[in-house]
Amino acid sequence: MTSTLLYHHLLLSVILLLHAPLCPAAGGSWSVLLPSIGISAMHMQLLPNDRVVMYDRTDFGISNISLPNGKCRPNSTDCSAHSVEYDVGSNTIRPLMVLTNVWCSSGTLMPDGSLVQTGGWADGYRRVRIYKSCATCDWQEISNGLNQQRWYATNHLLPDGRQIIIGGRQAFNYEFYPKMSATENSPSFPFLVQTNDPNVENNLYPFVFLYPDGNLFVFANNRAILFNYSKNQVVKTYPTMPGGQPRNYPSTGSAVLLPLRMKEGVTESVEVLVCGGAPKGAFANANNGRFDGALDTCGRIRISDPNPQWVMETMPLARVMGDMLLLPNSHVLIINGASAGVAGWELGRNPVLSPVTYRPNNQIGSRFEVQNPSTKPRVYHSTAVLLRDGRVLVGGSNPHGKYVFTNVLYPTELSLEAFSPSYLDPSSSSSRPRILSPKTKTKIRYGKRIAVTFMVPGPVDLNSVSVTMVSPSFNTHSLSMNQRLLVLDSANSTKALGRSTYRVGVTAPPSGNFAPAGHYLLYVVHKEIPSSGIWVRMQR
């Protein structure tokens, strides 16, 4: 290279650097928990005994973990497990047996702590499966527990303790479980017909969140409604997201209901954030070997406003098939996924290895922060859930119709990792709270006052203490079902009790519309640094 060419090359590099978007300093750390759990964790649910149920599908072939005691699935030569229970405390797994195909199914942690999982493919279409955790427990199945075939459906726990199951492939309706009667029907849901793109769909695994008035916010494709499921009526129609790009499977983005801040029994605003996805035409293009760049935009909407409008923001990294998780300190973690293509067999490209955090309370333009990268691609069929200690459990990734480990771009991933957000850095230990009371498994009643006692080793800012309550979500296909976080009303009541010991009084949510009865993780947060959580149970 001549000196003139070298000069121009260096000059061009400087210009590009000057015009490149600035990314804030990275944070967080990664660790491999287990190199193999035997299956690829396509679905995950944290249970209130700090164990995590995971499963993939029964027709992937022989997995890398055998069923115990020489067992095989009935009417099958497959004696391998396609579901496991992971014990967080001991970092061990135990194989479980699912009898029918759980591929692309859905589920909800019920108020009694059991996981009720619904649907799947083929012989699993109308199945209901129940898992109650114990040392020897296994899946129990109900053969015709559903009225309709449910594949790629979304479930949500309701204030009455039942779950609603919405949609699925060619299922433009909804139903409930458990049933009130044997004759209970499945009401039609025209919104799913209206949002269905012919030959592509783009509305599977719709984003569903319980609104504090008891209705449901339902987002599919590129638009949303507020829905009264009891009367089968649309209460409000929200504007189409600017740009009109699809955000649901297979153009898979993700979404969260932003933290609900309680004050005197109400929340001043209710907001939803939808991020990522793939542009129109990306599914057809990917099937023809052309992989469009993923969307780099998020839409945020205050759905409680009289005239709600979307506000668009730009992520530092474009992402499709990402997962959005609420962290105990009210930040949002965006993790996993790819930067090109769509969801589906062999249809994603260019894994996004770096998570991003989003701080909802910062000014627009200063909300995103890129985190340290993993070394493992987590593309189609990857998962992530929040653990009680504040880490994020990450698993899965299998863009193939079988277990495939060689001669492919992205081999089937059997490992289990943990991402530790920056609030777990040792440098934060002097500011980290530790809850002394109440004890874990405490039962809480709606609207009642709760005294939370905690320790902090270092100096405490009494005005920077909050108490949050997070529901454990069912995660699959970039959607964390039932996910919600409440910042409980403390009325600035934090006070010192003695050396390093403090107490804050908070008020429990007023009703099941804010927090359906069931199990939650409760955290004390100080200067955006959360304690390890304790399990509490909301009771009607």
Q: What is the pLDDT of residues 43-57, one digit of tens each?
A: 999 999 999 999 999
Domain boundary among 401, 424, 447: 424
Domain shared by 367 and 487, yes or no: no
Q: Which amino acid is at 74?
A: P
Residue 4 belongs to some domain of the structure: no
Do 380 and 492 lie in one domain? The reply is no
- Local structure of residue 127 (DSSP, 8 states): -
Residue 33 is assigned to a structural domain of this protein: yes
Q: Are residues 137 and 245 in the same domain?
A: yes
Q: Which residues of the chain have a pLDDT value below 50? A: 1-24
Residue 25's pLDDT is 52
**Token pair listed for 454:** 């905690």
Per-residue confidence (pLDDT) for residue 540, from 0 to 100: 84
DSSP per position, 295-324: P-EEEEEETTSSS--EEEEE-SS--BS-EE
Q: Are residues 348 and 481 in the same domain?
A: no
**Residue 458 confidence (pLDDT):** 97
Tokens standing for residue 26:
């990275």
Q: What is the pLDDT of residue 478?
A: 98
Residue 521 lies in domain: 431-538
Distance CA 430, CA 312 (A): 37
Instruction: Tell me if 193 is assigned to some domain.
Output: yes
In a domain, 157, yes or no: yes
Pairing of strands 479-481, 485-487: unpaired
Looking at the structure, tell me whether residues 401 and 453 fall in a common domain. Answer: no
Same domain, yes or no, for 440 and 402?
no
Specify if 178 maps to a domain.
yes
Question: What is the per-residue pLDDT across 275-303, written as a single tens digit (0 to 9) for each?
Answer: 999 999 999 999 999 999 999 999 999 99
Q: What is the DSSP letter of 423?
A: G
- Contacts of residue 20, defined as CB under 8 A and 6 or more positions apart, other chains included, come to none
> Domains in the chain: how many in total?
2
Assign residue 462 the CATH number of its domain.
2.60.40.10
| pLDDT confidence of residue 24 | 46
* Residue where one domain finishes, among candidates 384, 409, 424: 424
Same domain, 500 and 415: no
CATH assignment of the domain containing 294: 2.130.10.80
Question: Which of 361, 392, 424 marks a domain boundary?
Answer: 424
Q: What is the pLDDT of residues 150-194, one digit of tens each?
A: 999 999 999 999 999 999 999 999 999 999 998 999 999 999 999
Instruction: Say yes or no: 395 and 515 in one domain.
Output: no
**Virtual torsion, Cα 262, 265, 268, 270, nearest 10 deg:** 70
Does 468 lie in the same domain as 357? no
